Amino acid sequence: MEAAEFDYIVVGAGSAGCVVANRLSADPSVRVCLVEAGGSDNSLRVKVPAGILSLYGNPNYDYCFVGVPQPELNNRRIPVNRGKALGGSSSINSMVYIRGAAEDYDEWARLGCAGWAYRDVLPVFRKLERNLLGQDPRYHGSDGELLVDSPRDPNELSSMFVKAGKNAGLPANADFNAESQFGLGIYNVTQDRGQRFSSFSAFMRPVLHRRNLTLLSECEVIDLAVAQGRATGLRVQHDGQQKTLSASREIVLSAGAINSPKILMASGIGPAAELRQIGIAPLLDLPGVGKNLQDHVDGMITVRSRSTRTLGLSIANLPRMAAAPFQYFARRKGMLTTNYVEAGGFAKTRHANGLPDIQFHFVPGYRSHRGRLIEYGHGYAIHTCVLRPKSVGEIKLSRDGSRRDVLIDHRFFTHEDDAMVLVEGIKIARRIFASPEFDAVRGKEMLPGKDVRGDDEILAYLRAEALTVYHPVGTCKMGTDDMAVVDPATLKVRGVDGLRVADASVMPKLIGGNTNAPSMMIGQKVSEMILGSGRSGGK
């Protein structure tokens, strides 16, 4: 078995991990290793925004997790797409730049996470951001590495959607990351001149020349090495053989809300009784590992339209499709620039308690009523998700003895409030689509269908069709209660020295919005914690 020694090892080259590896390796006196299970992101499928359709469910870029049967969703198993490549999920996501509401972070602070209130995290978001739109400097940064722009060539239906919001009492909102999220607008995106700009693009690719930085891709973590209460290294599978990577200072798990708890449990760190049941000797009884899983449950309305003003695969659209590659590579314009969810926004149902409780992702193209990624024809669709779900699930290791397979149980709709909110959200989405703005492209509602009108009928539809928008969080939550896994002040794993977690799994509650940017913020925060501890210098 080969061995290699470093000062710091960061597990996961995703949204948070790339930030951590960048910041730690800025000190040339320390040796930093970034470990990623996935491979290269150097593909047009990743770089060209419209290539996203070829990434979901593709095992070259996606872990292709599938959850356990959900009793409240007709025992369906829900796909859980997570990025498996340099950049992690920021290399397969829709590139939407959303931070969540200020109140989300203030709630974290009220839950015992001092130092994580909005006033604490806003400067961190600003530090990371290079806003190309000239947006309000009170909320946006201009000197960071992460490029934030608007879509290069949004489809005309995206603007139509924003205008149609008036029909549902939703104003236009030009900046969801400023004073208020409420309303509809064109989303900001993490792109560089119409090309995907992942966390790897922003924080790692520019510093790969650093001699003290080692990047190991296609390197799967088996478990942690822990000696006398201290994490000392990793066992990994790399280049067809098992290796040991040693960390003289610290290991930072940034493998995401699925894989970070998986690695802990595979190492004997987690709920002791559950680990014994699957044949793992508990090293540390930490009952919160894998618990507190939260995600945005989502319902869709999809409409078929004859209008070729929408994105679509059709004979009538062949000239536009044929021109798309030339438009993209010559001017970064045309169909290939779309991230498919160019517009969206935030609304309040009658159940809302002050803040918006639903989010929209509008698609100016036909979303298959049969679950296909690509469907012939034209149309448009709107995804509606529950922003702050009350249903809480968990992640466990399976009983197959591999220590690698996970059981993902969202427990969607186990709290009836989530179902009630999503039913109301579908009604609001329909009011938007009923606006005269859509008259010129109006077509047949395929899902839920015009006959699905009452609350019970809409709920039955959601039980049959609802999915997720892939924002899992919370499975290694920070806090001060008995179920907390990490200390909010340090993100250190309770009871283990030399080990921290820094990714969406540390969120105590799911934020109201997309989780890519908040994960980067968490990566920056833990970097400052480590650097501030005075341990980043020489040995």
Binding site listing for FAD: 93-96, 221
Kindly give the pairing relationship between strand 213-216 and strand 32-35: parallel
- Note whether 384 and 429 are within 8 A (CB): yes
Alpha helices in 332-451 (DSSP H): 416-433
Query: Any residues with CB less than 8 A from the CB of 386 and at least 6 apart, and which?
Result: 296, 297, 298, 357, 358, 418, 421, 422, 425
CB atoms near residue 481 (< 10 Å): 10
Say whether 471 is catalytic.
yes
Tokens of 124: 């961190």
Kindly list the distances between the CA atom of residue 125 and the CA atoms of 138, 144, 339, 538, in Å, as whole numbers in the listed order.
Answer: 11, 9, 23, 29
Query: Any residues with CB less than 8 A from the CB of 280 and at least 6 apart, and which?
Result: 265, 266, 268, 397, 403
| Paired strand residues for 244 | 3, 235
Tokens of 211: 């001699």
Alpha helices in 200-340 (DSSP H): 256-266, 272-277, 318-331
Kindly give the pairing relationship between strand 499-501 and strand 65-66: unpaired
Axis-axis angle for helices 156-164, 416-433 (nearest 10): 110
- Phi/psi at 346 (nearest 5 deg)? -135, 135
Tokens of 489: 């002040």
Q: How far is CA 453 from the centre of its chain?
A: 32
Query: Any residues with CB less than 8 A from the CB of 277 and at least 6 apart, and which?
Result: 399
| Long-range contacts of 165-172, Cβ-Cβ distance < 8 Å, separation of 24 or more | 165/345, 165/432, 165/435, 166/435, 167/431, 167/432, 167/434, 167/435, 167/436, 167/437, 168/347, 168/428, 168/431, 168/432, 168/435, 170/345, 170/347, 170/432
CB atoms near residue 227 (< 10 Å): 9
Q: Which residues are annotated as a binding site?
A: 93-96, 221
Active site residues: 471
